[in-house]
Amino acid sequence: MKVYKTDQIRNIALIGNAGSGKTTLAEAMLFEGGVINRRGEVTAKNTVSDYNPIEHEFGNSVFSSLLYTEFNDKKINILDAPGMDDLCGGVVSSLNVADLGLVVVNSTNGVEAGTEAAYRHASKAGKPLIFVFNQLDHDNSNFDKSLEQCKSSYGNKVTVVQYPVDAGPNFTSIIDVLKMKMFKYGPDGGKPEVLDIPASEKDKAEELHNELVEMAAENEESLMELYFDQGSLSEDDMRKGMKLGMLQRDLYPVFCTCARKNIGVGRLIEFISNIAPAPNEVPMRKIVSGKEVKMDAGDRPSLFVFKTSIESHVGEITYFKVMSGTIKEGLDLINSKNGNKERLSQIFITAGKNREKVEQLAAGDLGCTVKLKDTKFNSTLSEKDADIKFEEIVFPTPRHYIAIKAVNDSDDEKVGEVLSKIKFEDPTYVIEYSKELRQLIVHNQGEYHLNTLKWFFDNVHKIEINYNQPRIPYRETITKPEQSDYRHKKQSGGAGQFGEVHMIIEPIEEGSKPKSMFNLKGKELKISVRAEEEIPLQWGGKLEFINCIVGGSIDARFLPAILKGVMEKIEEGPLTGSYARDIRVYVYDGKMHPVDSNEISFKLAGRNAFSNAFKTAGPKILEPIYDLEVLVPSERMGDVMSDLQGRRALIMGMGSERGFEKISAKVPLKEMFKYTTSLSSLTGGRGMFSIKFASYEKVPPEVQDELLKAYAAEQEDE
């Protein structure tokens, strides 16, 4: 294959709702460019893009696929991204290395949940967009309604370049208002006849042409002046203006296709080859360390890894974008994350699972390599003394989490090994072993995301697993001061054990300071603060340990042992066994024995004194509260609000955002289990949400009673 220069390369990502026809469109693009000589079908499980067994079984894309086609002396790299928003990792990684997004819209359904999600990801990545109205041959396809929905959702930036003459089963003709021609196809697609626009469509075409000219002219002052002088623009001037508009995200051209019959696809590729930005015409990926590099084949070589995958009989495949210079076979580069040297022994361009070996790739191109030692996604490779590191891809925060457990205990270690590999292929899985909850937790994007994970365990790794509801990381604290003392005494033959500790505990309130006077159990108790130690707790909150010993009743060398005993009980609260927090401990008196006192004695005395005091200090359970933001279609607002109230949510505010109603609320984590599924059901898949930890708050009395009963039953079972 010829070596393409940077300005001959186009990188595009196909995004949109599942079932909109992205994979079929990719297939037609490869056919148009001669990369394949026969178009496959998703239903026949023979497309270039969806080649994984899981994709054949599920009937849709699960991973993003890198493909390419050649057209008009240009190489067009195509990233076919999944349509299910649960699989958004492939969308995000694809958009981060593409220079243009094609939002594929099913013209029967119009704007769907996946359309909105794709647009949201593209906006965050700042990518230019083209809207492709596909499946115009379906019985219920409605171009005008779909266009109206797009304009309503994304504004008048959505601008018609093409419209169908007769959408539906008889769809064969497209009016192109940029070229002002009609493209007429045979019943099975193929090469079109290029005809004059018929009289019946002339007025509509002229009106849309003028709208397009105005949109193109608005993007540069010289074009606007030319438009005012001449009343129109040439096709070349329109291309220039449209390109500027697309780069500024002020223009989203609309194209028409029936990818299944290869209608309109060739013209779409022609437009991409002529007008879509080359890699050196878009902003360079941010460099977080190292010297500046340019998207130039003559600069020093560097690349950015955007995806890692594992294939049987091949092993690990590393997908990259050449950020600068020319990447050649046999090149040695340094990984900026770990300083390790990596040799690119082989370089490939890829069309799905079909890989073609090449000797070099220029800046801006996409390719892959194999058998790197320790380079995963989000890595930068550059020359030894360049020390370049590109900004990493930020993947969406998990919206759902589940506990995972092998059915057979002997497989527990294997489960961990499998998860560590899978998270490199799909970084939106976040794996955590919670010592506190004693569970292996998989943070993920939703139910569909978990179904794909289970498929791999069942079909590839042959390990039986169960999904369980995760435990909640409750906290315990106290609500009032309490005094306690405890004497530990043990005598058994030789040296004995003796330690006596008197302490007061109280809750730490915002801005409060240690006290010197307490009224407890009808008695006033005066103490002297000698030393204060504040211990931040790993699980949040703090412990304050106050030394109030006077007269040497306890030797200073035993105070660390008392603190150690207190910390042991802090890690296992008496109510539910959860971590305790925000407690101030005053050690003010005690007794020693000249022979039998030692550290273990005072540790045990401190631990028991603290435990006894805690139980009578108005102990309360705290639960994690999260800030929740929900975007919901206005017609489903009431249903979503009712559901949130049933989840003990506190509504903090409401507003509007991008055509959606926005609800801000505080909600207990306990009530958020499977919220992704519920919200999808309530909103027809259109609702979106994000959550972020806010604080710990006291649980209501009825919830505390429920938790205490559950913990008591669990202790009995054990």
Residues 369 and 387: beta-carbon distance below 8 Å: no
CATH of the domain at 687: 3.30.70.240
Show the tokens assigned to 33.
């460019």
Asked if residue 710 belongs to a domain, the reply is: no
SS3 state at 244 = helix
Residues 463 and 421: their CA atoms lie apart, in Å, by: 15
Given 603, 618, 633, the domain boundary residue is: 618
Distance CA 412, CA 404 (A): 10
In the predicted structure, residue 360 carries a pLDDT above the cut 90: yes
Number of residues that make up the chain: 718
Do 376 and 445 share a structural domain? no
* Residue span of the structural domain in which 645 resides: 622-703
Least confident of 75-89, 153-167, 488-502: 488-502
CA distance linking residue 171 with residue 164, whole number of Å: 7
Pairwise CA distance, residues 460 & 417, whole Å: 13
Question: Tokens 């949040």 label which residue?
Answer: 540
Confidence grade of residue 64 (pLDDT, cut at 50, 70, 90) = very high
Strand partners, 468: 403
Q: DSSP string covering 430-486, please? A: EEEEETTTTEEEEEES-HHHHHHHHHHHHHTS---EEEEPPPP--EEE-SS-EEEEE
Cα 285 to Cα 474: distance, rounded to the nearest angstrom: 42
Among residues 93, 622, 596, 121, which one has the least CA distance to residue 379?
A: 93
Percentage helix, strand, coil for the chain under 3-state DSSP, each rounded to 5: 30, 35, 35
- Same domain assignment for residues 666 and 518: no
Q: How far apart are CA 29 and CA 19, in angstroms?
A: 17
Does residue 156 share a domain with residue 12? yes
Q: Is residue 215 part of a domain?
A: yes
Which carries the bigger pLDDT value, residue 552 or residue 197?
197
Do residues 241 and 126 both lie within one domain? Answer: yes
Q: Are residues 324 and 276 in the same domain?
A: no
- Which helix (DSSP H) or strand (DSSP E) does residue 562 occupy? helix 559-570
Greater pLDDT, 313 or 429 = 429
In the 3-class helix/strand/coil scheme, how is 613-660 assigned residue by residue?
HHHCCCCEEEEEEEEEEEEECHHHHHHHHHHHHCCCCEEEEEEEECCE
Q: What percent of the chain has pLDDT over 90?
A: 80
Give the span between the Cα atoms of 270 and 67, in whole angstroms.
17
129 vs 511, which has greater pLDDT?
129
Express each pLDDT in 603-662 by its tens digit: 999 999 999 999 999 999 999 999 999 999 889 999 999 999 999 999 999 998 767 899
Domain of residue 566, CATH code = 3.30.230.10
- For residue 638, is it within any domain? yes
Token code pair at residue 626? 């999260």
Q: What is the pLDDT of residue 718?
A: 60
Q: In this structure, are strands 252-256 and 158-160 parallel, antiparallel, or unpaired?
A: parallel
Using CB atoms within 10 A of its CB, is residue 417 exposed (0-12), middle (13-18) or buried (19+)? exposed
pLDDT exceeds cutoff 70 at 678: yes
The number of domains in the chain is: 5
Q: Which pLDDT score is estimated for 187?
A: 81
3-state secondary structure of 668: strand
CATH number at 218 reads 3.40.50.300
**Amino acid letter at 496?**
G
Inter-residue contact 576 to 475 (CB < 8 Å): no
Shared-domain flag, residues 422 and 375: no
> Is there a single domain that holds both residue 542 and residue 577?
yes
Cα 490 to Cα 36, 44, 369, 494, 605, distances in angstroms? 85, 79, 68, 10, 12
- Residue 119 and residue 59 share a domain: yes
Q: Which residue has the tokens 């230019």?
A: 128
What is the distance between the alpha carbons of residues 570 and 549, in angstroms, rounded to a whole number?
22
Residues 319 and 166: their CA atoms lie apart, in Å, by: 42
Question: Is the model's pLDDT at 363 over the cut of 80?
Answer: yes
- Whether the per-residue pLDDT at 324 is higher than 90: the answer is yes
In a domain, 510, yes or no: yes
Residue 708 domain flag: no
Domain finish residue from 337, 360, 390? 390
| List of residues 6+ apart from 157 with CB closer than 8 A | 249, 250, 251, 252
Q: In whole angstroms, what is the distance from residue 370 CA to residue 67 CA?
A: 17
Alpha-carbon span 624 to 627, nearest angstrom: 10
**Same domain, yes or no: 410 and 351:** no
* Of 590, 528, 594, 587, the residue nearest 560 (C-alpha): 587
Give yes or no: residues 498 and 462 share one domain.
Answer: no
Tokens encoding 233: 């623009």
pLDDT tens-digit series, residues 431-457? 999 988 999 999 999 999 999 999 999
In this predicted structure, the answer to whether residue 232 has a pLDDT above a threshold of 90 is no
Q: Which residues pair with 400 in a beta bridge?
A: 444
Is-contact 212 178, C-beta < 8 A? yes
